[in-house]
Structure 1
Amino acid sequence: MEKSWEILKPNPEAVRRIINATHVHPVVASILVNRGIQEGEDAVHFLSPALNRLRTPFSMADMTKAVHRIALALDKKENILIFGDYDVDGITATACLYEFFKFLGADVFCHIPHRSEEGYGFQAHHVHHCLVPKKIGLLITADCGSGSHDAVRKANASGIDVIVTDHHQVSSDLPEALAVINPNRKDCPSGLGHLSGVGVVYFLIIALRKHLREKGVWKGRTEPNLKRFSDLVALGTIADMVPLIHENRILSKIGLEIIRSGRRKGLRALAESSGTPIGSIDTEDIAFRLSPRLNAAGRIGHADAAFHLLIDNDLDSAREKAVLLGKLNSRRQNLEKELLDEIDQYVRKFPRMLRNRTLVMSGKGWHEGVLGIVASKLVEKYYRPTILISLKDGIGKGSARSIPGLDLCRTLDSCRNTLERFGGHIMAAGLKIRSDNIQAFADDFEKAVARSTRPEDFIPKITIDCKLQLENISSELLDSLDAVKPYGTGNPAPLFMADDVHIVSSKIVGEKHRRMVLSQKPGEGKQAKEAIQFNINPNLAMKERFARIAYRLSWNRWEGRKNIQLIVEEAQ
């Protein structure tokens, strides 16, 4: 699919201000301006993230009520249950709260629902199945609960207080919980709506530690260093693809340092099993190697397997759990491929489907655990909002994925009359629907998307940070770019452009990838650079010259040596 190219033009004055304040490479200064940083002081903070720059957790609505109620539960030695979500964000949020409460010596239990048997989130049936038998006095949700109105009412009626910690978009009606800590509730003034679910939990822990300090709880005992939990926060934050800006950048950068130390046995075992050197893990490793294995537990089996791996203090035991997650991930990959092939065949058979701005499909027997991943791949391929629905006994459970520029939750809200329930984020959501409402919903969704979009929204776009000719690429530049990391949503790896690029040599590897040596001066190897292009366009495979390329920079490490390597993302 042809893409439009947008080349950013940073304000030269802002670039100069940042260079004067930080003495960074001019290319790095340009990238910072492209990321919305205009002043020298802001650049200093961006380049040197520190925990003491986090905003106060007490700026979040209901935070004070929550910490007072938790402190009371600790005083009274009440049984506390943490109710988590089954994705990596929810699992890490649950583990973070669990470890903090265990440090305090609290009587704490955890429950993460089984995706296919229990469904998403805290539901009314959980009260008598999970809470009452354990004589729970206080329930704390982790990365869920903002839409659990019936369940919270039932818990209240059973004498159980509920504290919701969540970050998903919410309607104006909040559940009748004792506290709802969600920076995305409309009346929360904190400005922390970018936090992940585990990020919200981390802020609760910061507030609780401070409150317990004021109560004198830490006198005569060691006060916990909350940096020890930042590895979990980084893992959940990166996996949930929230913007790596502000607090998320601070927590991810510091958390990555803790992960690389190998302190957490479960993550060390997981890195080993995925063939990832623990000492150099980055956001890409988490997103594409570690997170899929952790998520596979909740998608294919039970998320408890991932939770227990993260809290395991025995390396041998953790290695056994990591092997299990690897097997679940392999099964997930097979299920994903089967469903993707089935849908691709259907679309090829009925190509008129692609006349619509949306793709809504349903099927019996589709595994719920892979719907979201397959929907994301279909968005990449066909570039339109996509919803996949698995049908069973007249009920459909679906996963939705969007394109940039379309608020998925707001669009689903306009179709709420045909849905049983829905929730999520701007770019991703889940839903429940009766099978006989699917066609009406698909029609409503198509109309809602048509109202909210323009034809140009359906042309994928690549954004170039700056033009960088090959002769200007140096080791010093690559080292300087490290300061911009960690990369992720909201802070993508810089993308550069070079024009009139000649292919000095080329070799196909793995059938659909190509290793090349590129130069902008034919026959002159001095400025030539190694490059690789993944999933090449067959029409370009035999080209000897590109009019222009869009590329990222990386080190190619092999047998103790490292060379500059261009990763060619697009070529024309």
Structure 2
Amino acid sequence: MQPVNLRKWLLRAEEPDEEGIVQLSQELNIQKLTAQALILRGIVNKEQGIEFLRANLSALPDPDLLPDMTIACARLEKALVQGEKIAVHGDYDVDGITGCTLFVETLRAFGGQVEYHIPLRLKDGYGLSADAIRHAHEHGCSIILSVDCGVSAQVEADFASELGLDLIITDHHQPPDHLPVCHALVNPQLTSGTSPWKDLSGVGVAFFVLIALRRRLRENGYFSTRKEPDLRQGLDLVALGTIADIVPLGGINRLLVRSGLQLLEAGTRPGIAALKRVADVKQVTSGVVGFRLAPRLNAAGRLEDAALGVKLLLGDDPQDIEPLAEMLDGFNRDRQKIEQQTLLEAISQVEKLDQPDRYSLVLSSPNWHSGVIGIVASRLVERYHRPTVLIAFENGLGKGSARSISGFHLYQALSRSAEPLAGFGGHAMAAGLSIAEENLDDFKVAFEAAARSQLSATDLLPMLYHDGEVALSSFNLSVLKELEMLNPYGVGNPQPAFISRNCQVLAPRILADKHLKFDIEENGCRVGCIAFGQAGKFDQLGGDVDLLYRPGINQWRGKESVQLQVVDFRASGCCNDE
């Protein structure tokens, strides 16, 4: 199977009419280009535009609308009032690390006695740990509070009940047909199909639990003799976990992340400041969080102990924090090396497939590290545009990570392919599974059948979405600074991208053996371009080209200029996209 090189360029949504663009532009006092981008994101009237651009926390919905919220908060209030010990059980990814940190520091600020547990990826696996439940019981805890896990933990919930522990599950993963029996189960996936809550991250759910709990405590006079914590100070954790978990950054998540990014930029949390230093971060954006900060926290869980990430985020002593940050940075470098070797081995397997027309990829090896296979699966999806599962086997048992493409719901597909599996869980675009080695071939057949039933050949062609065709002269610093009001960017709110056609390429060169840098000129307007990771396409820069790009502002030696980050380019007139 060869990498997919051809990509289809499509307008992000139905083309807006000029009258609608002009009207929204005038109502919001914004440029037409900004209004066009908003309409293509479903923001079509003045009220929606104001809400989107202001992104005010006052617009957050009532947390008690989430299922079992009042039950969970009543039990936590009782524990705080009576001095009962609470055990927080997180997960080993960034969402679980930040959610655990948020619960621990805030409940302690409320006056609670709180301990925490993060499972070891290689020893404990995903989800609630029976050993952790036993440990909590032995250490006098009366409540276990999960974050980012637990919705599939029927056996563990029963075990907690047997020990007399009240289990409060907060999770955001897709629920199974049979839910665990527990004291309370707060999961936005259990709300109606039209609910605004569906896309919350695990740490986002935790934040709303704390909002509801604080309100309950306030109403009952709990803070009459103690200081009431400012929950906004935890939004840096919410932003970090939400971005890292690649949930859509619209609606509620946009409100949370936009405020949280400001705290991350300020770096008031000592652990965040140390993490920014080792990652050489000068300015925090959602992209910087996703590609610079989150991987270093994730590396602890992938290779060592994710509890180190919680320790870093909770810490306030520089003598402890600085070595921890350096350690996480070292883990990340090790992770990158292991990831690259795994990727090369996986590509070699794909190239040797005897069925090059497969709609899915299921690859495995006893030599792979289960901590990096999710990242490598994502790389293979980018390369081959197929739903991909990578499985690391050890002693006949496999841990798998799956990543998907648009139009293929992974959790539903795994549900239809579940018979050979020992277990699975996840979302539409990412999931995890466990499997015995003797069942691997049966799973490959079942998963391929699920892919073929849900996908067409057209779905296997990557699509790049844009916000319209524009002239290069449309861009200046004022326009680009206004477009930045659409931040934060991510899934569900992509950075604006545009097309320009029949552009002349000037001064092309290769940077660092990986990137392309060149200028383009259209009707006398010349603009600089950077194409990251596209050095292999240098020979295609001859003649006029069409480009799909994200416009931005380049800062160099104190000067600002327009620069286009090229996503894709091709010879002018070679393709007709819809």
| TM-score (normalised: structure 1) | 0.96
Name the residue aligned to 1:441: 443
Residue 421 of structure 2 contacts residue 435 of structure 2 at CA under 8 Å; is this kept in 1? yes
| 1:61–1:188 CA contact under 8 A, matched in 2 | no
Residue among 294, 297, 300 paired with 1:297? 300
Matched residues in 2 for 1:53 and 1:30: separation?
Answer: 24
The offset of 1:82, in angstroms, is 0.2
Supply the distance in 1 between the matched residues of 2:372 and 2:164 (Cα, whole angstroms).
38
Distance 1:537 1:331 in 2: 26
C-alpha spacing 1:215/1:358, structure 2 compared with 1 (3 Å): same
Which shows bigger deviation, 544-553 or 237-246? 544-553
Instruction: Confirm or deny: 8 A CA contact 2:510 2:535 kept in the other structure.
Output: no
Q: Deviations over 1:59-106 (max 9, x none)?
A: 011000000000111122111000000000000000000011110221
Q: Which residue number corresponds to residue 36 of structure 1? A: 42
Find out whether 1:267 has 2:276 as its counterpart: no
Residue equivalent to 1:370: 372
Question: Contact 1:93 / 1:198 at 8 angstroms: preserved in 2?
Answer: yes
Conservation of the 8 A alpha-carbon contact between 2:515 and 2:535? no
Tell me the equivalent position of 1:423: 425
In structure 1, the residue corresponding to 2:222 is in which secondary structure? Answer: coil
One-letter identity of the residue aligned with 1:4: K
The 5-angstrom pairing of residues 387-398 of structure 1 reads 387-398=389-400
CA distance in 1, matches of 2:125, 2:20: 49
Question: CA contact under 8 A between 2:349 and 2:363: conserved in structure 1?
Answer: no
Unpaired runs of 5+ residues, structure 1, are: none
Residue 470 of structure 1 deviates from its aligned partner by 1.0
Which secondary structure does the structure 1 equivalent of 2:122 belong to? helix
State the distance in 1 between where 2:157 and 2:392 align: 28
After TM superposition, give the deviation of residue 489 of structure 1 in Å: 0.6
Query: Does the CA-based 8 Å contact 1:182-1:188 persist in structure 2?
Result: no
Q: Tell me, in whole angstroms, the C-alpha distance in 2 between the residues paired with 1:313 and 1:508.
A: 44
- Paired-residue identity, %: 36
Q: What pairs with 1:63-78 in structure 2 (closer than 5 Å)?
A: 63-78=69-84
TM superposition shift of 1:288: 0.5
Q: 1:339 to 1:265 in 2, by over 3 A?
A: same
Measure, in 1, the Cα distance between the counterparts of 2:84 and 2:537.
67
**Preserved CA contact (<8 Å) 2:117 2:132:** no
**Counterpart-to-counterpart distance in 2, 1:289 and 1:254:** 19
1:288 maps to a residue whose letter is: F
2:489 to 482, 487, 490: 487
Cα distance in 2 for residues equivalent to 1:189 and 1:380 = 31
Matches within 5 A, 1:207-246: 207-246=212-251
Aligned residue identity for 2:412: R
Q: Match of 1:298, SS?
A: helix
Give the aligned partner of residue 153 of structure 1. 158
**Cα deviation, residue 464, structure 1:** 1.3
Q: 2:169 aligns with which of 157, 161, 164?
A: 164
Counterpart position of 1:116: 122
- Does 2:290 align with 1:287? yes
Q: Which residue of 2 aligns with 1:553?
A: 551
Deviation by residue 1:436-478 (Cα, 9 ceiling, x = unmatched)? 1110011011011111111111000011101121112111111
The equivalent of 1:191 in structure 2 is 196
Tell me the residue number matched to 1:49: 55
2: CA distance between counterparts of 1:237 and 1:546?
41
Taking structure 2 as the reference length, what is the TM-score of the superposition?
0.95
2:175 partner amino acid: V
- Find 1:337's aligned residue among 337, 340, 343: 340
Q: Report the equivalent of 1:566.
A: 564
Shift of 1:12: 3.4
The Cα RMSD (Å) is 1.4
Which residues of structure 2 form unaligned runs of 5+?
A: 571-578
Secondary structure at the residue paired with 1:564? strand
Distance (Å, rounded) in 1 between the aligned partners of 2:316 and 2:471:
49
Partner residue of 1:409? 411
What is the SS of the residue equivalent to 1:388? strand
Maintained 8 Å contact 2:110/2:229: no
- Say whether residues 1:143 and 2:148 are aligned partners: yes
Stretch deviating more after TM superposition (201-210 or 505-514): 505-514
Q: 2:536: which partner in 1? A: 538
Maintained 8 Å contact 2:66/2:191? no
- Aligned length in residues: 564
**In 2, Cα distance between equivalents of 1:149 and 1:13:** 55
Q: Counterpart amino acid of 1:365?
A: N
Query: Which residue number corresponds to residue 461 of structure 1?
Result: 463
- CA–CA distance in 2 between the matches of 1:314 and 1:247? 33
Q: Distance in 2 between matches of 1:32 and 1:406?
A: 26
Correspondence for 2:327 among 324, 332, 335? 324
Q: Does 1:132 align with 2:130?
A: no
Q: Kindly provide the amino acid, as one letter, of the partner of residue 150 in structure 1.
A: V
**Pick aligned residue for 1:206 from 184, 208, 211:** 211
Cα distance, 1:535 vs structure 2 = 2.1
1:5 to 6, 9, 28: 9
Following superposition, which runs of at least 4 residues in structure 1 exceed 4 angstroms of deviation?
186-190
Deviation at 1:201, TM superposition (A): 0.3
SS of structure 2 residue aligned to 1:205: helix
What CA deviation, in whole Å up to 9, does each residue of 1:94-141 have, x standing for no partner? Answer: 00000111102211000000000111110334322x222211100000
Match of 2:109, SS?
helix
Correspondence for 1:361: 363
